[in-house]
């Protein structure tokens, strides 16, 4: 049994055949790829794909397309950046504007998460420009209005996982797991222990029952300035950090980039709207609310089995 901690989930892989795992630091996190021994020859290629995605979508790397778009207000788009920005429009519409990549004016310019972080005043937040309509994409060229910055952190790791998974599928490799912090693609049977973010205990555990499932977690305790009241999950409509949910874990066979974006968006929605939205998607969900109430979706058995919940938690 291999235990791989990431954000909220501790992942244990149960595979009959011998497996090999490799880990690299890419996209500012640990990326772990596990495959059967006969497919291990493809692992380095998959890491290179993830590196290429990072070189397209990063807002930190001075050579990345998104970094240059933020800096120059215009950029010619490579295939990954073009696809990601087109998807971001889909997510913006699907989530009623709660997934908005133009929160970069807050995450990058104000809080500066991951780079010289600072506290932000309410006036600075009120003055920040957030408008998806200020991003213009046409024929693989993008421009930004003044004051706008792009942050693809709400979908980027899921997008990278999808690209690597596509590569393995094209090679006929079926028994793989790609883990990128809070985003996992589990193509075989996995056992998941959901860890209490405030202790060493386990909230619940389960095994997946379908092949090629994505498991994505979005939490407000992973990146913040001084306290979780100043976390990286920004409500683009109110222009402030969300505090209603400690974590949201989604499980589905939809693309990992979709799950990543929808976990991000639902985290910043009003609570009733978030639950209604997730029900409309048909995903399995495990939600830890800010009042520490654990909520598990009614359809969880569609994706998992042997669900065990810590009996000290309210359900």
Give pLDDT tens digits for 35-52: 988 899 999 999 999 999
Report the chain's mean pLDDT, rounded to a whole number.
86
314 band by pLDDT with thresholds 50, 70 and 90: very low
Ordered DSSP codes for 248-260: EEEEESS-HHHHH
Q: How far apart are CA 144 and CA 137, in angstroms?
A: 9
pLDDT at position 174: 80
Q: How far apart are CA 262 and CA 167, in angstroms?
A: 24
Element (H, E) at 224: strand 224-225
Q: Which residue has the higher pLDDT, 39 or 187?
A: 39
Between β-strands 183-186 and 213-219, what pairing exists: parallel, antiparallel or unpaired?
antiparallel
- Label residues 257-294 b or e (16+ Cβ within 10 Å = b): bbbbbbbbbbbbbeeeebbebbeebebbbbbbeeeeeb
pLDDT at position 217: 87
pTM, full prediction: 0.90
2 band by pLDDT with thresholds 50, 70 and 90: very low
Judged against a pLDDT cut of 90, whether residue 4 lies above it is answered with no
Plot region of 18 (φ>0 → left; ψ -120 to 50 → alpha; else → beta):
beta
Residues with Cβ within 8 Å of 264's Cβ and at least 6 positions away in sequence, in order, are 99, 154, 155, 218, 233
Most confident of the following: 11-20, 213-222, 230-239, 291-300: 291-300
222 band by pLDDT with thresholds 50, 70 and 90: low
Q: In Å, how far are 90, 100, 112 from 217, measured between CA atoms? A: 20, 18, 22
Ordered DSSP codes for 231-296: ES-EETTTTEE--SEEEEEEEESS-HHHHHHHHHHHHHS-HHHHHHHHHHHT-EEEEEETT--EEE
Fold for the domain defined by 3-309: T-fold (3.10.520)
pLDDT at position 157: 96
Mean pLDDT of 113-124: 74
Q: How far apart are CA 64 and CA 53, in angstroms?
A: 9
pLDDT at position 52: 98
Q: How far apart are CA 188 and CA 209, in angstroms?
A: 9
Q: Quote the percentage of the chain above a pLDDT of 90.
A: 57
Contact 263, 250 (CB under 8 A): yes
């Amino acid at each position: 049994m291999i235990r791989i901690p990431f954000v909220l989930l501790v992942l244990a892989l149960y595979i009959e055949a011998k497996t090999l795992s490799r880990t690299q630091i890419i996209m500012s996190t640990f990326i772990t790829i596990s495959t059967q021994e006969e497919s291990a020859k493809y692992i380095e290629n998959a890491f290179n794909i993830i590196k290429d995605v990072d070189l397209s979508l990063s807002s930190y790397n001075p050579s990345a397309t998104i970094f240059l778009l933020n800096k120059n207000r215009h950029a010619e788009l490579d295939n990954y950046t073009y696809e990601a920005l087109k998807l971001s429009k889909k997510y913006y519409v699907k989530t009623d504007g709660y997934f908005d990549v133009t929160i970069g004016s807050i995450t990058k310019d104000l809080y500066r998460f991951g780079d010289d972080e600072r506290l932000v005043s309410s006036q600075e937040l009120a003055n920040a420009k957030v408008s998806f309509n200020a991003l213009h994409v046409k024929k693989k060229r993008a421009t930004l209005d003044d004051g706008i910055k792009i942050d693809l952190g709400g979908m980027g790791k899921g997008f990278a996982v999808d690209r690597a998974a596509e590569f393995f599928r094209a090679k006929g490799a079926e028994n793989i797991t790609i883990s990128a912090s809070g985003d996992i693609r589990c193509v075989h049977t996995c056992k998941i222990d959901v860890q209490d973010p405030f202790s060493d205990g386990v909230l619940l555990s389960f095994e997946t029952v379908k092949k090629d499932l994505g498991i994505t977690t979005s939490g407000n305790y992973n990146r913040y300035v001084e306290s979780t009241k100043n976390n990286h999950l920004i409500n683009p409509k109110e222009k402030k950090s969300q505090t209603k949910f400690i974590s949201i874990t989604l499980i589905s066979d939809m693309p990992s980039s979709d799950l990543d974006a929808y976990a991000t968006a639902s985290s910043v929605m009003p609570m009733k709207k978030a639950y209604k939205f997730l029900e409309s998607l048909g995903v399995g969900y495990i939600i830890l609310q800010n009042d520490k109430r654990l909520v598990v979706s009614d359809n969880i058995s569609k994706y998992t089995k042997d669900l065990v919940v810590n009996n000290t938690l309210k359900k």
